[in-house]
């Protein structure tokens, strides 16, 4: 073999070895980074999964069972110590795996408050005076359960913030790694170009093909293709190694995209509003009352409305539904509540038919209507009206829930507006709907509130008019 052929072979081998070495280094760095973030992600996922076991209706259940116990109701099952111990166990397990300062403070407060709650329960059990037990129930038990639930929501919020920060770190790291890989490919192209003019036709043709392939990769084509065919085994090995690298790059891109999507779903899951089970209990009680009163037709209509309401709530497992489906759910909800509050509640729903196909997160209007009923019309203690309207405003959809109920003081209205701006947990239903709309559509969308004491409250939701998901 001529000496020149040996020189070409040696140089090509050096190129290949250098290329493989750099590729391995990049892969090692990439795998190490992914492993590091995987450990952190599993930690956050463990914490979120553990918190999901916390009873979302902890306060309502403890308060109700303690009330039954204090008044000596026949529904009393004794002190709900088991529920408190379960909450203590959950908080204790979270303390061991929580590292964020704010999250640790919140969950530690939950544990301390649970222990205090258990002590207060025993104190009530040892108190014989009915009046003293009522005072302890109001001043101790109700306050402690409210604090426990509030601190648990604070913990969820701080963990969500940590998930968001980790997502940003992953994005930055991905950009750095892709840049390194593209620089590596560019260096390989330059190095090969220097030898193109010195090699024979049998070498130049596959090298030109290889150069074109590298340019395609640099242009974003990460489709795995057949290696370049050549009699020079070094060129062939280089082509095979490059296609393997493309496959790994493509897999890393897909894995990173999946991780980002999982983080986003986790954030939304933390903010997903929950339907109050007391609504179901009260509705079933009303149906029983209608049947006992011989109003079977009204009972059948209420069961149909309840079925329609929960069918809309489930939405075949979809989080995104049409405005028309959201309207049906709100109408079912109001029809059910109108049977219960027929002496004080009237309502109207007027949504422009042209916008009913617009897609939006489900459970957007129902929490707003529920707030209007329970914090507006009911507190008015007189007949009240709730109106739901929707219309097109430029490139946006404006949905308005208005009541003529009790309204808010200026101080309370300022507090609600501040909570929407800072995403503090004041008025959890409104804050949750506001955050979900901003997560889906951006910061320029969400809720705004207007209210006047004694006159009523108006809540406006703004979403984009696009019909695409």
Distance CA 237, CA 16 (A): 8
Q: Which two structure tokens, joined as six digits, stand for 135? A: 């005072």
- Within this chain, do residues 392 and 334 fall inside the same structural domain, yes or no? yes
- Within this chain, do residues 121 and 189 fall inside the same structural domain, yes or no? yes
pTM of the full structure: 0.43
* Same domain? 379 vs 450: yes
| Co-location of 254 and 360 in the same domain | no
Confidence of residue 437 (pLDDT cuts 50, 70, 90): confident
Residues 347-383 pLDDT 10s? 999 999 999 999 988 888 988 998 899 889 988 888 8
The answer on 231 and 327 residing in a single domain is: no
Q: Which residue has the higher pLDDT, 257 or 440?
A: 440
The domain boundary residue, chosen from 245, 271, 297: 271
Range(s) of the domain holding residue 194 = 1-271
- For residue range 206-257, what is the model confidence (pLDDT) as tens digits? 767 767 777 777 776 667 667 766 666 667 777 777 778 877 877 877 776 7
Q: How far apart are CA 458 and CA 428, in angstroms?
A: 17
Report if residue 441 sits inside a domain: yes
Taking residues 282-308, what's their average pLDDT?
Answer: 79
Question: 107 and 30: one domain?
Answer: yes
Specify the number of domains making up the chain: 2
**240 closest CA partner among 225, 253, 252:** 225
* Predicted pLDDT of residue 435: 83
> Of 207, 241, 271, which residue constitutes the final position of a domain?
271
Q: Which residues of 261-280 are buried (b: 16+ CB within 10 A; e: fewer)?
A: eebeebbbebbebeebeebe
Q: End of a domain among 271, 305, 327?
A: 271
Length of the chain: 469
Whether residue 469 is contained in a domain is answered as no
> 151 and 178: one domain?
yes
Neighbours of 292 (CB within 10 A): 9
pLDDT of residue 3: 36
440-444 contact pairs (CB < 8 A, 24+): 440/360, 440/361
CATH of the domain at 454: 3.30.565.10
- Mark whether 329 and 267 lie in a shared domain: no
pLDDT at 60: 87
Give bridge partners of residue 386 from the DSSP assignment.
Answer: 347, 403
Q: Per-residue pLDDT for 275 more than 70?
A: no
* Span 250-263, pLDDT tens digits: 787 777 676 555 44
Q: What is the pLDDT of residue 263?
A: 43
pLDDT digits (tens, 9 = 90+) for 399-410: 999 999 999 999
Regarding whether 256 and 282 lie in a shared domain, the answer is: no
């Amino acid at each position: 073999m001529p000496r020149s052929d040996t020189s070409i072979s040696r140089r090509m081998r050096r190129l290949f070895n250098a290329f493989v070495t750099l590729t391995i280094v990049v892969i090692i760095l990439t795998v190490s980074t992914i492993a590091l973030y995987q450990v952190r992600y599993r930690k956050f996922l463990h914490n979120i999964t553990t918190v999901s076991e916390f009873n979302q209706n902890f306060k309502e259940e403890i308060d109700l069972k303690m009330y039954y116990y204090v008044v000596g109701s026949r529904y009393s099952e004794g002190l709900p110590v088991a529920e408190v111990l379960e909450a203590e166990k959950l908080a204790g397990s979270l303390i061991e795996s929580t590292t964020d300062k704010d999250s640790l403070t919140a969950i530690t407060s939950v544990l301390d408050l649970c222990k205090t709650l258990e002590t207060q329960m025993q104190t009530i059990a040892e108190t014989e005076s009915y009046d003293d037990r009522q005072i302890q129930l109001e001043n101790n038990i109700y306050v402690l359960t409210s604090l426990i639930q509030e601190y648990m929501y604070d913990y969820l919020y701080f963990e969500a913030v940590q998930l968001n920060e980790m997502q940003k770190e992953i994005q930055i790291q991905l950009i750095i790694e892709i840049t390194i890989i593209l620089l590596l490919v560019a260096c390989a192209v330059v190095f090969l170009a220097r030898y193109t003019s010195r090699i024979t036709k049998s070498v130049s043709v596959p090298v030109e093909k290889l150069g074109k392939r590298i340019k395609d990769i640099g242009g974003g084509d990460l489709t795995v293709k057949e290696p370049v065919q050549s009699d020079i085994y070094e060129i062939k090995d280089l082509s095979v190694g490059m296609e393997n690298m493309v496959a790994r790059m493509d897999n890393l891109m897909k894995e990173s995209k999946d991780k980002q999507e999982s983080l986003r779903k986790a954030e939304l899951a933390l903010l997903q509003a929950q339907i109050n089970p007391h609504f179901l209990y009260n509705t079933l009680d009303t149906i029983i009352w209608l049947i006992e009163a011989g109003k079977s037709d009204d009972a059948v209509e209420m069961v149909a409305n309840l079925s329609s309401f929960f069918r809309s709530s489930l939405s075949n497992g979809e989080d995104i539904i049409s405005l028309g489906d959201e309207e049906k759910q709100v109408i079912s909800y109001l029809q059910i509540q109108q049977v219960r509050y027929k002496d004080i509640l009237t309502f109207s729903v007027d949504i422009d038919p042209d916008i009913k196909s617009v897609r939006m997160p489900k459970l957007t209007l129902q929490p707003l209507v529920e707030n209007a009923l329970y914090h507006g019309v009911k507190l008015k203690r007189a007949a009240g009206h709730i109106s739901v309207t929707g219309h097109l405003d430029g490139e946006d959809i404006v949905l308005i829930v208005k009541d003529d109920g009790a309204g808010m003081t200026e101080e309370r209205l300022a507090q609600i507006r501040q909570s929407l701006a800072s995403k503090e947990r004041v008025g959890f239903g409104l804050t949750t709907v506001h955050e979900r709309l901003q997560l889906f559509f951006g910061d320029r969308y969400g809720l705004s509130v207007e209210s006047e004491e004694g006159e009523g409250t108006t809540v406006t939701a703004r979403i984009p008019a696009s019909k695409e998901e």
